[in-house]
Amino acid sequence: MKKLFALAAIAAVSLGAHAQTYPGTKPISIVVPFTAGGPTDRVARDLAEAMRKFVPGSNFVVENAAGAGGTIGATKVARAAPDGHTLLLHHIGMAATPALYRKLAYKTLDDFEYLGMINDVPMTLIGKPQLPANTYRDFENYIRANAGKLNIAHAGLGSASHLCGLLWQSTLQTKDAMTTIPFGGTAPAMTALIGGQVDVMCDQTTNTTQQIESGRVKAFAVTTAKPLSTHPVLKHYPSLQEMGLKGFNLTIWHGLYAPKGTPEAITKTLNEALKKALKDPDFIKKNEGLGALVVNDNRTEPAEHKKFVAAEMAKIKTAVDAAGKYAD
Ligand code: ASP
Protein backbone atom coordinates (compact mmCIF):
# COMPACT_ATOMS: atom_id res chain seq x y z
CA MET A 1 0.00 0.00 0.00
CA LYS A 2 2.80 2.35 1.03
CA LYS A 3 4.45 1.60 -2.28
CA LEU A 4 1.26 2.55 -4.13
CA PHE A 5 1.10 5.93 -2.38
CA ALA A 6 4.75 6.53 -3.19
CA LEU A 7 4.10 5.74 -6.86
CA ALA A 8 1.07 8.04 -6.95
CA ALA A 9 3.12 10.81 -5.38
CA ILE A 10 5.89 10.37 -7.98
CA ALA A 11 3.28 10.44 -10.78
CA ALA A 12 1.69 13.60 -9.38
CA VAL A 13 5.06 15.30 -9.04
CA SER A 14 6.11 14.37 -12.57
CA LEU A 15 2.78 15.56 -14.03
CA GLY A 16 3.13 18.81 -12.09
CA ALA A 17 6.68 19.22 -13.29
CA HIS A 18 5.56 18.53 -16.85
CA ALA A 19 2.86 21.19 -16.59
CA GLN A 20 5.43 23.66 -15.34
CA THR A 21 7.77 23.08 -18.27
CA TYR A 22 4.98 22.89 -20.84
CA PRO A 23 5.25 23.09 -23.78
CA GLY A 24 9.01 22.41 -23.77
CA THR A 25 10.61 21.76 -27.14
CA LYS A 26 8.04 19.28 -28.45
CA PRO A 27 5.51 20.78 -30.93
CA ILE A 28 1.83 21.10 -30.06
CA SER A 29 -0.04 19.33 -32.82
CA ILE A 30 -3.55 20.53 -33.70
CA VAL A 31 -5.25 17.60 -35.41
CA VAL A 32 -7.77 18.61 -38.08
CA PRO A 33 -10.10 15.72 -38.95
CA PHE A 34 -10.42 16.83 -42.61
CA THR A 35 -8.08 17.39 -45.55
CA ALA A 36 -5.55 20.22 -45.79
CA GLY A 37 -6.61 23.43 -47.52
CA GLY A 38 -10.27 23.18 -46.46
CA PRO A 39 -12.26 25.35 -44.06
CA THR A 40 -11.53 23.48 -40.82
CA ASP A 41 -7.85 23.37 -41.77
CA ARG A 42 -7.94 27.09 -42.42
CA VAL A 43 -9.40 27.86 -38.99
CA ALA A 44 -6.71 25.63 -37.44
CA ARG A 45 -3.82 27.31 -39.27
CA ASP A 46 -5.03 30.80 -38.39
CA LEU A 47 -5.60 29.74 -34.78
CA ALA A 48 -2.16 28.07 -34.56
CA GLU A 49 -0.58 31.32 -35.68
CA ALA A 50 -2.50 33.30 -33.08
CA MET A 51 -1.97 30.82 -30.21
CA ARG A 52 1.78 30.76 -30.85
CA LYS A 53 1.88 34.35 -29.60
CA PHE A 54 0.27 33.44 -26.29
CA VAL A 55 2.01 30.20 -25.27
CA PRO A 56 5.62 31.29 -24.82
CA GLY A 57 8.14 29.06 -26.53
CA SER A 58 5.47 27.02 -28.30
CA ASN A 59 5.53 25.53 -31.75
CA PHE A 60 1.96 24.82 -32.90
CA VAL A 61 1.69 22.60 -35.97
CA VAL A 62 -1.39 21.43 -37.88
CA GLU A 63 -1.84 17.76 -38.70
CA ASN A 64 -4.57 16.46 -41.02
CA ALA A 65 -6.19 13.13 -40.16
CA ALA A 66 -9.12 12.99 -42.59
CA GLY A 67 -11.81 10.39 -43.12
CA ALA A 68 -15.20 9.05 -42.01
CA GLY A 69 -16.77 12.47 -41.48
CA GLY A 70 -14.10 13.58 -39.00
CA THR A 71 -14.31 10.51 -36.74
CA ILE A 72 -10.83 9.22 -37.67
CA GLY A 73 -9.11 12.40 -36.46
CA ALA A 74 -11.29 12.60 -33.34
CA THR A 75 -10.45 8.97 -32.48
CA LYS A 76 -6.77 9.70 -32.92
CA VAL A 77 -6.91 12.53 -30.38
CA ALA A 78 -9.13 10.63 -27.93
CA ARG A 79 -6.43 7.94 -27.85
CA ALA A 80 -3.39 10.26 -27.81
CA ALA A 81 -1.21 10.81 -24.73
CA PRO A 82 -2.88 13.44 -22.52
CA ASP A 83 0.20 15.64 -22.37
CA GLY A 84 -0.99 18.78 -24.15
CA HIS A 85 0.94 17.97 -27.33
CA THR A 86 -1.99 16.56 -29.31
CA LEU A 87 -5.16 18.67 -29.62
CA LEU A 88 -8.26 18.38 -31.77
CA LEU A 89 -9.91 21.20 -33.67
CA HIS A 90 -13.34 20.05 -34.73
CA HIS A 91 -16.62 21.57 -35.85
CA ILE A 92 -20.31 20.73 -35.46
CA GLY A 93 -19.42 17.16 -36.52
CA MET A 94 -18.30 16.64 -32.93
CA ALA A 95 -22.01 16.76 -32.03
CA ALA A 96 -23.44 15.22 -35.22
CA THR A 97 -21.38 12.03 -35.40
CA PRO A 98 -22.58 10.52 -32.09
CA ALA A 99 -26.09 10.56 -33.57
CA LEU A 100 -25.07 9.25 -36.99
CA TYR A 101 -22.52 6.61 -35.98
CA ARG A 102 -23.94 4.17 -33.49
CA LYS A 103 -20.52 2.55 -33.04
CA LEU A 104 -18.19 5.46 -32.41
CA ALA A 105 -14.71 4.61 -31.07
CA TYR A 106 -14.83 7.43 -28.50
CA LYS A 107 -17.31 9.12 -26.20
CA THR A 108 -17.76 12.75 -27.22
CA LEU A 109 -18.52 14.05 -23.73
CA ASP A 110 -16.26 11.74 -21.70
CA ASP A 111 -13.07 11.26 -23.71
CA PHE A 112 -11.98 14.88 -24.17
CA GLU A 113 -11.06 17.92 -22.14
CA TYR A 114 -13.02 20.86 -23.55
CA LEU A 115 -10.75 23.85 -24.12
CA GLY A 116 -13.22 26.43 -25.44
CA MET A 117 -15.01 27.37 -28.62
CA ILE A 118 -13.43 29.32 -31.45
CA ASN A 119 -15.84 30.71 -34.04
CA ASP A 120 -19.25 30.50 -35.68
CA VAL A 121 -19.24 30.13 -39.45
CA PRO A 122 -22.20 30.42 -41.83
CA MET A 123 -22.46 28.19 -44.88
CA THR A 124 -23.19 28.91 -48.52
CA LEU A 125 -24.99 26.90 -51.12
CA ILE A 126 -22.79 26.90 -54.22
CA GLY A 127 -22.67 25.29 -57.64
CA LYS A 128 -20.21 24.59 -60.43
CA PRO A 129 -19.57 27.62 -62.68
CA GLN A 130 -21.20 25.92 -65.69
CA LEU A 131 -24.66 25.73 -64.05
CA PRO A 132 -27.13 27.80 -66.09
CA ALA A 133 -28.87 29.24 -62.98
CA ASN A 134 -27.89 32.63 -61.56
CA THR A 135 -30.43 33.09 -58.76
CA TYR A 136 -31.62 30.76 -56.00
CA ARG A 137 -35.05 30.44 -57.68
CA ASP A 138 -33.48 29.44 -61.01
CA PHE A 139 -31.19 27.06 -59.19
CA GLU A 140 -34.06 25.32 -57.39
CA ASN A 141 -36.02 25.01 -60.63
CA TYR A 142 -32.97 23.61 -62.38
CA ILE A 143 -32.49 20.99 -59.64
CA ARG A 144 -36.13 19.93 -59.82
CA ALA A 145 -36.02 19.74 -63.63
CA ASN A 146 -32.85 17.62 -63.48
CA ALA A 147 -33.74 15.40 -60.53
CA GLY A 148 -31.67 12.24 -60.52
CA LYS A 149 -29.02 13.63 -62.88
CA LEU A 150 -27.06 15.88 -60.51
CA ASN A 151 -24.62 15.24 -57.69
CA ILE A 152 -23.78 16.99 -54.44
CA ALA A 153 -20.37 16.80 -52.75
CA HIS A 154 -19.75 16.49 -49.01
CA ALA A 155 -16.92 15.74 -46.59
CA GLY A 156 -18.22 12.40 -45.29
CA LEU A 157 -21.17 11.33 -43.17
CA GLY A 158 -21.47 13.64 -40.19
CA SER A 159 -19.54 16.50 -41.77
CA ALA A 160 -20.94 20.01 -41.94
CA SER A 161 -21.43 19.83 -45.70
CA HIS A 162 -23.29 16.53 -45.28
CA LEU A 163 -25.59 18.00 -42.61
CA CYS A 164 -26.31 21.09 -44.69
CA GLY A 165 -26.98 19.06 -47.84
CA LEU A 166 -29.34 16.75 -45.94
CA LEU A 167 -31.33 19.59 -44.39
CA TRP A 168 -31.55 21.50 -47.63
CA GLN A 169 -32.50 18.50 -49.78
CA SER A 170 -35.22 17.49 -47.33
CA THR A 171 -36.89 20.85 -47.96
CA LEU A 172 -36.86 20.39 -51.74
CA GLN A 173 -39.30 17.49 -51.53
CA THR A 174 -37.91 16.11 -54.74
CA LYS A 175 -37.08 12.51 -54.02
CA ASP A 176 -33.46 11.52 -54.75
CA ALA A 177 -32.82 14.82 -56.50
CA MET A 178 -29.05 14.38 -56.21
CA THR A 179 -26.44 11.68 -55.76
CA THR A 180 -24.05 12.35 -52.86
CA ILE A 181 -20.29 12.18 -53.47
CA PRO A 182 -18.16 11.95 -50.31
CA PHE A 183 -14.64 13.42 -50.03
CA GLY A 184 -12.12 13.50 -47.15
CA GLY A 185 -12.79 17.22 -46.77
CA THR A 186 -14.24 20.04 -48.80
CA ALA A 187 -10.85 21.17 -50.18
CA PRO A 188 -10.79 18.32 -52.75
CA ALA A 189 -14.57 18.68 -53.17
CA MET A 190 -14.06 22.35 -54.03
CA THR A 191 -11.49 21.42 -56.68
CA ALA A 192 -14.00 18.97 -58.18
CA LEU A 193 -16.72 21.63 -58.12
CA ILE A 194 -14.54 24.25 -59.81
CA GLY A 195 -13.57 21.62 -62.38
CA GLY A 196 -17.24 20.76 -63.00
CA GLN A 197 -16.93 17.12 -61.87
CA VAL A 198 -19.56 17.71 -59.18
CA ASP A 199 -22.57 20.01 -59.45
CA VAL A 200 -23.47 21.33 -56.01
CA MET A 201 -22.00 21.77 -52.53
CA CYS A 202 -22.86 23.47 -49.25
CA ASP A 203 -19.77 24.61 -47.41
CA GLN A 204 -18.48 27.01 -44.78
CA THR A 205 -17.84 30.58 -45.89
CA THR A 206 -14.22 30.11 -44.73
CA ASN A 207 -13.78 27.94 -47.84
CA THR A 208 -16.16 29.56 -50.27
CA THR A 209 -15.84 33.35 -49.93
CA GLN A 210 -12.71 33.71 -52.05
CA GLN A 211 -13.95 31.24 -54.68
CA ILE A 212 -17.27 33.09 -54.95
CA GLU A 213 -15.52 36.45 -55.19
CA SER A 214 -13.25 35.27 -57.97
CA GLY A 215 -16.14 33.69 -59.91
CA ARG A 216 -14.74 30.16 -59.75
CA VAL A 217 -18.06 28.92 -58.31
CA LYS A 218 -21.61 30.25 -58.34
CA ALA A 219 -23.29 31.09 -55.03
CA PHE A 220 -27.04 30.91 -54.55
CA ALA A 221 -27.80 31.42 -50.86
CA VAL A 222 -26.46 31.59 -47.31
CA THR A 223 -27.65 29.25 -44.56
CA THR A 224 -28.07 31.79 -41.74
CA ALA A 225 -31.58 32.98 -40.90
CA LYS A 226 -30.79 36.46 -42.22
CA PRO A 227 -28.56 37.47 -45.14
CA LEU A 228 -24.99 38.50 -44.28
CA SER A 229 -25.76 42.09 -45.16
CA THR A 230 -22.52 43.65 -43.93
CA HIS A 231 -20.11 41.28 -45.67
CA PRO A 232 -18.69 42.76 -48.90
CA VAL A 233 -19.03 39.52 -50.91
CA LEU A 234 -21.68 37.46 -49.13
CA LYS A 235 -24.22 40.32 -48.80
CA HIS A 236 -25.28 39.68 -52.39
CA TYR A 237 -26.93 36.36 -51.58
CA PRO A 238 -30.31 35.70 -49.95
CA SER A 239 -30.77 33.47 -46.93
CA LEU A 240 -32.52 30.16 -47.52
CA GLN A 241 -35.16 31.27 -45.04
CA GLU A 242 -35.90 34.34 -47.16
CA MET A 243 -36.27 32.02 -50.12
CA GLY A 244 -39.11 30.25 -48.33
CA LEU A 245 -37.25 27.47 -46.48
CA LYS A 246 -39.05 28.05 -43.21
CA GLY A 247 -36.83 27.86 -40.13
CA PHE A 248 -33.65 27.06 -42.08
CA ASN A 249 -30.77 28.35 -39.95
CA LEU A 250 -27.44 26.57 -39.94
CA THR A 251 -24.21 27.91 -38.50
CA ILE A 252 -21.11 25.78 -38.08
CA TRP A 253 -19.09 26.20 -34.89
CA HIS A 254 -15.52 25.14 -34.14
CA GLY A 255 -14.00 24.17 -30.80
CA LEU A 256 -10.69 23.01 -29.36
CA TYR A 257 -10.20 19.76 -27.39
CA ALA A 258 -7.47 17.76 -25.63
CA PRO A 259 -7.47 14.08 -24.68
CA LYS A 260 -9.19 13.30 -21.37
CA GLY A 261 -6.77 13.39 -18.46
CA THR A 262 -4.61 16.25 -19.74
CA PRO A 263 -3.32 17.97 -16.55
CA GLU A 264 -5.35 20.94 -15.44
CA ALA A 265 -2.34 23.26 -15.47
CA ILE A 266 -1.95 22.53 -19.21
CA THR A 267 -5.64 22.84 -20.10
CA LYS A 268 -5.69 26.15 -18.22
CA THR A 269 -2.65 27.41 -20.15
CA LEU A 270 -4.31 26.41 -23.42
CA ASN A 271 -7.69 27.92 -22.53
CA GLU A 272 -6.07 31.19 -21.51
CA ALA A 273 -4.04 31.29 -24.73
CA LEU A 274 -7.18 30.50 -26.75
CA LYS A 275 -9.08 33.35 -25.11
CA LYS A 276 -6.23 35.73 -25.91
CA ALA A 277 -6.08 34.45 -29.50
CA LEU A 278 -9.80 35.18 -29.87
CA LYS A 279 -9.10 38.81 -28.98
CA ASP A 280 -6.15 39.04 -31.38
CA PRO A 281 -7.05 41.73 -33.98
CA ASP A 282 -5.32 39.83 -36.77
CA PHE A 283 -7.23 36.60 -36.02
CA ILE A 284 -10.52 38.53 -35.78
CA LYS A 285 -9.85 40.29 -39.09
CA LYS A 286 -9.04 37.03 -40.90
CA ASN A 287 -12.26 35.48 -39.61
CA GLU A 288 -14.43 38.44 -40.51
CA GLY A 289 -12.98 38.56 -44.00
CA LEU A 290 -14.23 35.01 -44.54
CA GLY A 291 -17.68 35.61 -43.06
CA ALA A 292 -16.86 33.93 -39.71
CA LEU A 293 -17.47 35.39 -36.25
CA VAL A 294 -14.98 34.78 -33.44
CA VAL A 295 -16.74 33.56 -30.28
CA ASN A 296 -17.19 36.42 -27.86
CA ASP A 297 -19.36 34.88 -25.13
CA ASN A 298 -19.08 32.37 -22.29
CA ARG A 299 -18.63 29.43 -24.68
CA THR A 300 -14.90 30.20 -24.46
CA GLU A 301 -15.10 28.68 -20.95
CA PRO A 302 -14.56 24.88 -20.99
CA ALA A 303 -17.69 24.09 -18.94
CA GLU A 304 -19.89 26.24 -21.19
CA HIS A 305 -18.27 24.79 -24.31
CA LYS A 306 -19.12 21.28 -23.10
CA LYS A 307 -22.68 22.31 -22.20
CA PHE A 308 -23.14 23.80 -25.66
CA VAL A 309 -21.88 20.63 -27.40
CA ALA A 310 -24.16 18.46 -25.23
CA ALA A 311 -27.16 20.61 -26.22
CA GLU A 312 -26.19 20.43 -29.92
CA MET A 313 -25.83 16.65 -29.63
CA ALA A 314 -29.35 16.31 -28.23
CA LYS A 315 -30.78 18.57 -30.93
CA ILE A 316 -29.09 16.71 -33.80
CA LYS A 317 -29.91 13.28 -32.35
CA THR A 318 -33.62 14.13 -32.34
CA ALA A 319 -33.42 15.11 -36.02
CA VAL A 320 -31.35 12.06 -37.03
CA ASP A 321 -33.54 9.61 -35.09
CA ALA A 322 -36.62 11.13 -36.72
CA ALA A 323 -35.07 10.64 -40.16
CA GLY A 324 -33.92 7.12 -39.14
CA LYS A 325 -30.81 7.36 -41.32
CA TYR A 326 -27.46 6.33 -39.84
CA ALA A 327 -23.91 6.09 -41.11
CA ASP A 328 -23.26 2.55 -39.83
N1 ASP B 1 -16.14 21.77 -44.59
C2 ASP B 1 -15.99 20.39 -44.34
C3 ASP B 1 -17.26 19.82 -43.82
O4 ASP B 1 -18.14 19.81 -44.60
C5 ASP B 1 -14.80 19.94 -43.58
C6 ASP B 1 -13.48 20.45 -44.09
O7 ASP B 1 -12.98 20.03 -45.13
O8 ASP B 1 -12.93 21.28 -43.40
O9 ASP B 1 -17.40 19.36 -42.73
Q: What is the pLDDT of residues 276-306, one digit of tens each?
A: 999 999 999 999 999 999 999 999 999 999 9
- Determine which residue's CA is closest to atom 7 belonging to ligand 1: 185
CA of 185 to the centre of ligand 1 (A): 5
Superfamily of domain 123-236: Periplasmic binding protein-like II (3.40.190.10)
What secondary structure letter does DSSP report for 291? T
Backbone phi and psi for residue 53, each to the nearest 5 degrees, phi listed first: -70, -25
- Higher-confidence residue of 2 and 205: namely 205
Q: For residue 99, how far is its CA from the centre of ligand 1 (angstroms)?
A: 18
Ligand 1 atom nearest 163 alpha carbon: 4
Cα 158 to averaged position of ligand 1 atoms, centre (Å): 10
- Counting atoms of ligand 1 from 1, which one is nearest the CA of 164? 4
pLDDT bucket at 51, cuts 50 / 70 / 90 = very high
pLDDT band at 223 (very low <50, low <70, confident <90, very high): very high
pTM for this predicted structure: 0.90
Q: Where are the beta strands (DSSP E) in 91-187?
A: 112-127, 150-154, 178-182
Hey, where are the domains in the chain? 22-121+251-323, 123-236
CATH number of 22-121+251-323: 3.40.190.150
- Lining residues, ligand 1, CB within 6 Å: 34-35, 38-41, 93, 154-155, 159-161, 185-187, 203-204
**Which ligand 1 atom is at minimum distance from the Cα of 35?**
7
Cα 214 to ligand 1 centroid, rounded to whole Å: 21
Determine the Cα–Cα distance for residues 302 and 323; give it in Å rounded to an integer. 31
Domain 22-121+251-323 and domain 123-236, same fold? Reply is yes
CA of 9 to the centre of ligand 1 (A): 44
What is the rounded average pLDDT for all residues in the chain? 91
Mean pLDDT of 235-263: 96
Q: Model confidence over 154-188: pLDDT tens digits?
A: 999 889 999 899 889 888 777 678 999 999 999 99
Whole-angstrom distance, CA of residue 158 vs CA of residue 156:
6
Q: How far apart are CA 174 and CA 168, in angstroms?
A: 11
